[in-house]
């Protein structure tokens, strides 16, 4: 179906170049205030738009999709993950879903590596000591952390981001191990010098650092459950730059508080923007406000992908970044 100037409703403020391009190409309704849409406003947008452009903060569930207006034919997600959208319900209604894959791989891998460095070396803890005026001066035994070289890094999810993390980690002398739904190609394993673990439980028992880099799907909800988190050694660190729902946050906070896990670096949380109060009070964690994709370059590229998907759809062709239920 060819639509000359579709009505495009955007749920959050996007980078200016993206919004300018949308104004040129589409009949667009922007969110100048950047305040998240409440459910009623979101339902109204779904009722009248040809194209909806949501973000990770918008929950487009089955009930909203089933009440969508007849004009809605495309949900062009501003982001890679589509766990905020009921893709199956959209598919059943004949509504196409697209995303922005690959754009944020390097940015998220950079942030993952930053946390892998920050937590064992106690960087944030040290910075806070300086800010509080509590530094007693250099001492041979004060605020010691752990070196990275020779440690075993277990990557959960060896997709684009997981592989980018592995390349960075190898440069720091980390041994690369991974668990994935499917084993990667032998050439990739050889390049990364990566060891595959079919059993996640067995990998967790033997790692020094765990990096969560898998998407959030029904199958990965609380993949790191209380039972699995208890498999980690008290000397193990955990880093999550994927989705908060992959980790049982309550169990993680309790184990960190008890000293049964050495530390954590978290850029995502189970109930964002709320953060478990126990995590906020711990000194052995580094907490970031979902900054993994927060680069100017990355956000502009995301916008470009969204515009391309909408333009191709409006021209009556299949968008390049279509997401099907089989993909999730």
**Number of separate domains in the chain:** 2
* Residue 276 φ then ψ, to 5°: -55, 125
CATH number assigned to the domain comprising residue 182: 3.40.50.720
Task: Count CB-CB contacts under 10 A for residue 143.
Answer: 13
Boundaries of domain holding 70? 7-103+295-327
Shared domain check, 277 and 140? yes
pLDDT digits (tens, 9 = 90+) for 188-225: 999 999 999 999 999 999 999 999 999 999 999 999 99
What pTM was computed for the model?
Answer: 0.91
Active site residues: 243, 272, 290
In a domain, 1, yes or no: no
Shared domain check, 253 and 159? yes
Shared domain check, 60 and 172? no
State which H helix or E strand residue 98 sits in. strand 96-98
pLDDT at residue 326 is higher than 90: no
Shared domain check, 208 and 80? no
Query: For position 305, what pLDDT does the model report?
Result: 97
pLDDT at residue 4 is higher than 80: no
Name the pairing type of β-strands 96-98 and 322-323: antiparallel
Query: For position 90, what pLDDT does the model report?
Result: 97
Shared domain check, 136 and 203? yes
pLDDT digits (tens, 9 = 90+) for 57-93: 899 999 999 999 999 999 999 999 899 999 999 999 9
> CA-CA distance, 232 to 226, in Å (whole number)?
11
In a domain, 153, yes or no: yes
Exposure string over 7-20, b if 16+ CB within 10 A, otherwise e: bbbbbbebbeebbe
pLDDT digits (tens, 9 = 90+) for 100-139: 999 999 999 999 999 999 999 999 999 999 999 999 999 9
- Check residue 243 and report its DSSP letter: -
> CA-CA distance, 93 to 61, in Å (whole number)?
13
Query: For position 303, what pLDDT does the model report?
Result: 97
pLDDT band at 142 (very low <50, low <70, confident <90, very high): very high
Shared domain check, 319 and 251? no
């Amino acid at each position: 179906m060819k639509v000359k100037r579709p009505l495009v409703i955007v749920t959050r403020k996007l980078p200016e170049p993206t919004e300018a391009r949308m104004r040129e190409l589409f009949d667009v309704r922007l969110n100048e205030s950047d305040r998240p849409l409440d459910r009623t406003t979101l339902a109204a947008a779904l009722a009248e738009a040809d194209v909806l452009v949501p973000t990770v903060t918008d929950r487009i569930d089955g009930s909203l999709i089933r009440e969508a207006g007849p004009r809605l034919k495309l949900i062009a997600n501003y982001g890679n993950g589509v766990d905020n959208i009921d893709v199956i319900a959209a598919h059943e209604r004949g509504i196409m879903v697209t995303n922005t894959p690959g754009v944020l791989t390097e940015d998220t891998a950079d942030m993952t590596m930053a946390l892998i460095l920050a937590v064992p070396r106690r960087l944030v803890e040290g910075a806070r000591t300086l800010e509080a005026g509590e530094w007693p001066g250099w001492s041979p035994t004060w605020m010691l952390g752990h070196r990275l070289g020779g440690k075993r890094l277990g990557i959960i999810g060896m997709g684009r981001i997981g592989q980018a993390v592995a390349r960075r980690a190898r440069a720091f002398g980390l041994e690369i191990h991974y668990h994935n739904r499917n084993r990667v190609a032998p050439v990739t394993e050889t390049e990364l010098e990566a060891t595959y673990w079919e059993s996640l439980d067995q990998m967790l028992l033997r790692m020094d650092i765990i990096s969560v880099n898998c998407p959030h799907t029904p199958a990965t909800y609380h993949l790191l459950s209380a039972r699995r988190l208890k498999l980690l050694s008290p000397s193990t660190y955990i880093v999550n730059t994927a989705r908060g729902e992959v980790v049982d946050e309550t169990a993680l906070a309790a184990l960190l508080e008890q000293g049964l896990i050495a530390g954590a670096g978290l850029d995502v949380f189970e109930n964002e923007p709320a953060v478990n109060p126990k995590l906020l009070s711990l000194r052995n964690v580094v907490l970031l406000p979902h900054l993994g994709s927060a680069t100017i370059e990355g956000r502009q590229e995301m916008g470009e992908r969204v515009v391309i998907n909408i333009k191709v759809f409006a021209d009556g062709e299949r968008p390049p970044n279509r997401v099907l239920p089989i993909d999730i």
